[in-house]
Amino acid sequence: MANTNTITIQRRVQWMDTDAAGIWHHSVVIRWLEEAEADLHRRLGVSDRTFGATPRVRTEFTFATSVQFDDLVDVTLTVSALGETSITYHLEVRRGTTAVASGRVIAVLIDRETGEKRPWPDDLRQLLAP
Amino acid sequence: MANTNTITIQRRVQWMDTDAAGIWHHSVVIRWLEEAEADLHRRLGVSDRTFGATPRVRTEFTFATSVQFDDLVDVTLTVSALGETSITYHLEVRRGTTAVASGRVIAVLIDRETGEKRPWPDDLRQLLAP
Amino acid sequence: MANTNTITIQRRVQWMDTDAAGIWHHSVVIRWLEEAEADLHRRLGVSDRTFGATPRVRTEFTFATSVQFDDLVDVTLTVSALGETSITYHLEVRRGTTAVASGRVIAVLIDRETGEKRPWPDDLRQLLAP
Amino acid sequence: MANTNTITIQRRVQWMDTDAAGIWHHSVVIRWLEEAEADLHRRLGVSDRTFGATPRVRTEFTFATSVQFDDLVDVTLTVSALGETSITYHLEVRRGTTAVASGRVIAVLIDRETGEKRPWPDDLRQLLAP
């Protein structure tokens, strides 16, 4: 069975993503994560039900090296766990074979009206579970 | 009568606002404009009725010089015109007596439900008119 | 002869590009412009000589309609004029056949050491001229 | 002796900091952290030696609740540890008495020329140590 809950996208470090140290600003990793997440959820046909309904409760990133303007990176996002109401992503960013950054992000599904946590509906659970 | 439709705020160029040229990225001017706009509208007691209901239809900025990390600037925002449905702002950014950037931004008031343009209500008109 | 000084890229409105009005924030147009500019200059093989050396002196954008999370847009950037030291870009953003935004941006070539304006070298002029 | 290595700044959630869920985007916490860090380092007189020379190697944030446009928050940054070459910050974000977010960020001092890690000079160590 094909693994539906992982995705790799390619991105370039843009000029706006750099800072006066001459390299990327580390916060760009959050943009890349969300762009991979959007592509993954679109492919699964669930982005209209998940985006804006899965606030982050925890983010962790480790940075191994820096990248520069115009560098090309592979951004791999994988669903690593699905709890009663939570989803955990694992992120890897590589430039060629060089590890740039890795991360773990935990979000929870909420009811958009009340803002309260709610269990994953069965169909979303089946699509997103690792 | 005090001029109620102009405001000056002070801001520093933050590290995130710089790029690999070692100076600010010009797009920061939009952040500063909106922070001044929010302060002005809060002072007038109207921000809950205007923010998210005044999409920009035109932005123009001229850049005279650049600023760097930690530079302190004065950002002056003034309502320069109020049309049937539109509002025009004039922006000046200075570092001390040095002109850094100036701009003109035109927004229109919309009905949040329909997204359609609508005339300024009398009370908003009175508060915002130059 | 192929027109070398225009490029069209496709982009999606990302979640980070939206604001509490439920639509994109207009400043995203600057990110798209720069991503098209980077692709164009990379294709011409000049990005290491132009990026960080062409500060903006003027930006103008007109917004015709808004776009939303996950919308797909075509971003077309064209060099419309090349002066002694300046370059003028024209930008068009469309969602399908709908005009979203257009813009005009003027930058000048500077000497990275002195920060002073300088004339376009012949090879850059030949590659970039419309 | 006054505690020199902690600082609290006040910030408002700006319109650009929100997303289509109607609340802040969690990445704003990085901006606030860096603005507090810049104020702290400026007060200690070291920002020209530390900014651009202390890349992040680890960031961790926990989000307890969300904030909205125009909300006022207190952002408290404290140096919690100083290693041979590293600095660890602890961050707390509160809206009134409500905990919004907390975080831990580890950076390392590098030599700007070589990009290699280097031990804290004695004077920086004395100023920054908790």
Structure-block tokens of residue A43: 């492919």
pLDDT tens profile B29-88: 999 999 999 999 999 999 999 999 999 999 999 999 999 999 999 999 999 999 999 999
Rounded mean pLDDT, A52-68: 98
Residue D1: pLDDT band (50, 70, 90) is very low
Do B52 and C21 make contact, defined as CB atoms within 8 angstroms? Answer: yes
Q: What pLDDT is recorded for position A3? A: 62
Residue A96 has pLDDT above 80, yes or no: yes
Phi and psi of C129, rounded to 5°?
-60, 140
The four Cα atoms A80, A81, A86, A87 give a dihedral, to 10 degrees, of 20
**Distance, CA of D77 to chain centre:** 5
Q: What pLDDT is recorded for position A1? A: 44
Share of chain C above pLDDT 70, in %: 98
Asked if B27 reaches chain A (Cβ–Cβ under 8 Å), the answer is yes
User: In terms of C-beta density within 10 A (0-12 exposed, 13-18 middle, 19 or more buried), how is residue D125 classed?
Assistant: middle
ipTM, two decimals, is: 0.95
Instruction: Choose from C51, C59, C89 for mutation: most chain A CBs within 10 A.
Output: C51
Q: What pLDDT is recorded for position A68? A: 97
Residue D79 has pLDDT above 80, yes or no: yes
Kindly list the residues from chain B whose CB atom is less than 8 angstroms away from the CB atom of residue C23.
Answer: 55
Round to whole Å and give the CA distance between A30 and C52: 24
CA–CA min distance D118, chain C (Å): 28
Rounded mean pLDDT, A44-69: 97
Round to whole Å and give the CA distance between B38 and B46: 9
Give the three-class secondary structure for A129: coil
pLDDT tens profile D3-25: 679 999 999 999 999 999 999 99
Measuring CA to CA, which residue among D4, D31, D115, D22 is closest to residue D71? D22
Phi and psi of B37, rounded to 5°?
-60, -40
Query: Residue B60: left (phi > 0), alpha (psi -120 to 50), or beta?
Result: beta
Asked if C12 reaches chain A (Cβ–Cβ under 8 Å), the answer is yes
Q: What pLDDT is recorded for position D52? A: 96
Do D21 and A60 make contact, defined as CB atoms within 8 angstroms? Answer: no
Kindly list the residues from chain B whose CB atom is less than 8 angstroms away from the CB atom of residue D34.
Answer: 14-16
**Sign of torsion, CA C67 C58 A25 C38?**
positive
Kindly list the residues from chain D whose CB atom is less than 8 angstroms away from the CB atom of residue C69.
Answer: 20
Residue B1: pLDDT band (50, 70, 90) is very low
Do D63 and A56 make contact, defined as CB atoms within 8 angstroms? Answer: yes
CA–CA min distance D1, chain B (Å): 28
Residue A7 contacts by C-beta under 8 Å, 6 or more apart in sequence? A36, A39, A40, A43, A76, A77, A78
Minimum CA–CA partner of B52 in chain D: D15
pLDDT tens profile C63-85: 999 999 999 999 999 999 999 99
Minimum CA–CA partner of D11 in chain B: B35
Measuring CA to CA, which residue among B49, B57, D18 is closest to residue C19? D18
Instruction: Choose from C61, C68, C105, C111 for mutation: most chain B CBs within 10 A.
Output: C61
Rounded mean pLDDT, B6-33: 98
- For A12-61, the DSSP string reads E--GGGB-TTSSB-TTHHHHHHHHHHHHHHHHHT-HHHHTTS--EEEEEE
Rounded mean pLDDT, A98-120: 97
In terms of pLDDT, which residue wins out, B1 or D51?
D51
User: In terms of C-beta density within 10 A (0-12 exposed, 13-18 middle, 19 or more buried), how is residue B96 classed?
Assistant: exposed
CB B5 within 8 A of CB B88: no
Q: What pLDDT is recorded for position B69? A: 98
Residue B4: pLDDT band (50, 70, 90) is confident
Residue A77 β-bridge partners: A7, A91
Share of chain D above pLDDT 70, in %: 98
- For chain C, the DSSP string reads ----SEEEEEEE--GGGB-TTSSB-TTHHHHHHHHHHHHHHHHHT-HHHHTTS--EEEEEEEE-S---TT-EEEEEEEEEEE-SSEEEEEEEEEETTEEEEEEEEEEE-B-TTT--B-PPPHHHHHHH--
Residue D94 has pLDDT above 80, yes or no: yes
Asked if A30 reaches chain B (Cβ–Cβ under 8 Å), the answer is no
CA–CA min distance C2, chain B (Å): 32
Do D16 and B38 make contact, defined as CB atoms within 8 angstroms? Answer: no
- Which letter does DSSP use for residue D121 in this model? P
Do A19 and B23 make contact, defined as CB atoms within 8 angstroms? Answer: no
pLDDT tens profile C28-51: 999 999 999 999 999 999 999 999
